[in-house]
Structure 1
Amino acid sequence: MTNNDRLTRLSAHAVMVALSALALFPVYWMVQTSFRPPNEIFSTSFWPSAPTLDNYRDVMAAMPILAILWNTFVMATATTLAQVATGLLAAWALVRWRFPGGRLAHSLIALSWLVPFQVVMIPNYVLATKLGLLDSLAGLVIPNAAAAFAVLVLYNAMRGFPREVVEAARMDGAGSLRTLLEVVIPNLRAPLASIAILCFISAWNDYFWPLLLIRKIENSVVQIGLQFFMTQEGNDWGLLMAAATLASLPILGIYLALQRQVVESFMKSGIR
């Protein structure tokens, strides 16, 4: 390896380290602020002089934060499973079956992905009201049970699946559903894992729909719970950072537990 190659590699690593530090610094600042007493909230020191857990105790006393985190986890998990399931079935139908209007259906699904949620938020709210889904986790999940993004990604993944394998399964007597479950899905683990991760994070971070639908704090999700500490009189930064740290722990835990699978799934599926 020449000196120029070493210099280039060192420069690349230096840039990546700098970018990583830039990305992690806000997270570090959030965590260390959650341990600051009120008189040090706006201090510029990199660590509080007298760390305290009072902010976490006050968050626990101010709202049912553990119940809210559980509500969010259940909602995000149910939404992810529903979107992956509907995406699989819709993509399989578009790829496997040739029917009049198939291309049109694919185009409409792609176009629906470009429609902002705020456009359909009010019609969804009216429908949820008529179905009695207000202030419930079911009301948060059902309108988001299908995602155009999941359909499109799985459609492209299935188009690249060897047709010979599908035809061999059909000649062995396997029907469409059995072929999907036993042949196609086991070979699409990478795109499925990628889609599941993205759907879970998107559902976990959802704000506008829960804000419109949920009325009681005990039925709320974490993004609405954080708003509890933001008022017109000002923000309670210590409690807000403590609640935000608690809200970040589940996502961080999932990433640490599945770090290798997360990286491999994104690399194999080509999602960036």
Structure 2
Amino acid sequence: MTTETTNTPLHHSRRFGPGGWETGLGHALMILASLICVFPIYWMIVTSLRPENAIFSTRLWPDAASLDNYAYALKAVPITQMLVNTFIVSIAVTVIQIFTGILAAYGFSRWKFRGSAILFAAVALTWLVPLQVVMIPNYLLVARMGMIDTLGALILPHFASAFAIMLLAQSMRSFPTEVIEAAHMDGANHAHILWQVIVPNLRGTIASLAILIFITTWNEYFWPLLLTRSPENSVIQIGLQMFITSEGTQWGPLMAASTMASLPILLVYLVLQRQVIASFMKSGLR
């Protein structure tokens, strides 16, 4: 009697692990998305290096790179002064909004009084009001104060930010109350608790918020366009418009000026990548 043994082939189910083709496809998509995001910046820089007779060339790199567009842009428009003005306005608005946001957020998060919820809701609702709605009233106020065509006029209407107040208030409400009560028992007043206890522990949130405010202010266009008259008191975003005239657009100098205007923001992003990403994540509801 013979016994026949049949060998059944084993079928191994293919499971795609972390090293499977899905990972490769995901990386390929991320690389493609990165190229799509970076290519306009690269093309701006390349165009700024092209001579005038090759400004519309489709080559990825100019045959004869030149800095003539940068020299012309710096000569035709006070780019340096505009960059300084933009930096001053951006830093001032950032510092002021952080300072007022911290004070207001501490009041809303720690002091409960009659109507506090209504007042906080009113502040939050101002965040939903478009800039175009308050632009004319703010302009009339600034004009009556005699501040037209000054850097102060670009800073004054931005003394407080509803978004900064909301974000900081949310962070302070989640701060451990035990720490604050312990500080109170040690005899600390509200100023000491705010600046010596709470603020140092919210450095990450404050840094992320400061980066977001700085970038937003740096890219502001409509408000400076409404208030500034002379190029010496304008910001860089207004300077870029000067290369677009009724006779045509000076693409080479415009791209050169755009590159110089973008460098500070690019440097901020390269140095503070994690904080920049965190700031946009925290402002996701925006």
Q: Distance in 2 between matches of 1:124 and 1:132?
A: 13
Structural mapping, 1:19-34, within 5 Å: 19-34=33-48
Q: Does 1:69 align with 2:114?
A: no
Q: Does 1:41 align with 2:55?
A: yes
* Residue of structure 2 equivalent to 1:200: 214
* Residue of structure 1 equivalent to 2:158: 144
Q: Distance in 1 between matches of 2:172 and 2:245?
A: 48
1:38-90 C-alpha deviation (Å, 9 max, x unpaired): 11111111111111111000011101111110100000000000111111111
Q: Match for 1:5: what amino acid?
A: P
* Residue of structure 1 equivalent to 2:273: 259
* Residue of structure 1 equivalent to 2:92: 78
Which stretch of structure 1 is more off in the superposition, 192-201 or 163-172? 163-172
* Residue of structure 1 equivalent to 2:136: 122
Q: Distance in 2 between matches of 1:27 and 1:3?
A: 37
Pair 1:192–1:13, CA change in 2 (3 A): same
Question: Is this contact kept in 1: 2:55–2:252, CA < 8 A?
Answer: yes
Question: Is this contact kept in 2: 1:34–1:55, CA < 8 A?
Answer: yes
* Residue of structure 2 equivalent to 1:112: 126
* Residue of structure 1 equivalent to 2:117: 103
1:165-206 C-alpha deviation (Å, 9 max, x unpaired): 111111111111111000000000111011100000000000
| Structure number with larger C-alpha Rg | 2
Q: CA deviation at 1:260?
A: 4.6
User: Under a length normalisation based on structure 1, what TM-score does the superposition of the two structures give?
Assistant: 0.95
* Residue of structure 1 equivalent to 2:28: 14
Which stretch of structure 1 is more off in the superposition, 208-217 or 252-261? 252-261
More helix by share: 1
Q: CA RMSD in A?
A: 1.6
User: Under a length normalisation based on structure 2, what TM-score does the superposition of the two structures give?
Assistant: 0.91
Q: Match for 1:222: what amino acid?
A: I
Quick one: percent identity of the two aligned structures?
51
1:106-161 C-alpha deviation (Å, 9 max, x unpaired): 11111100100110001101100111111111110110111111111111111110
Q: Match for 2:251: what amino acid?
A: W
Aligned length: 270
Q: CA deviation at 1:270?
A: 4.2
Question: Is this contact kept in 1: 2:51–2:66, CA < 8 A?
Answer: yes
Question: Is this contact kept in 2: 1:76–1:200, CA < 8 A?
Answer: yes
* Residue of structure 1 equivalent to 2:18: 5
Unaligned runs of 5+ in 1: none
Q: Distance in 1 between matches of 2:279 and 2:105?
A: 19
Q: Distance in 1 between matches of 2:246 and 2:173?
A: 52
Question: Is this contact kept in 1: 2:212–2:279, CA < 8 A?
Answer: no
Q: Distance in 2 between matches of 1:56 and 1:210?
A: 24
* Residue of structure 1 equivalent to 2:7: none
Q: Match for 1:172: what amino acid?
A: D
Question: Is this contact kept in 2: 1:194–1:271, CA < 8 A?
Answer: no
Structural mapping, 1:217-236, within 5 Å: 217-236=231-250
Unaligned runs of 5+ in 2: 1-14
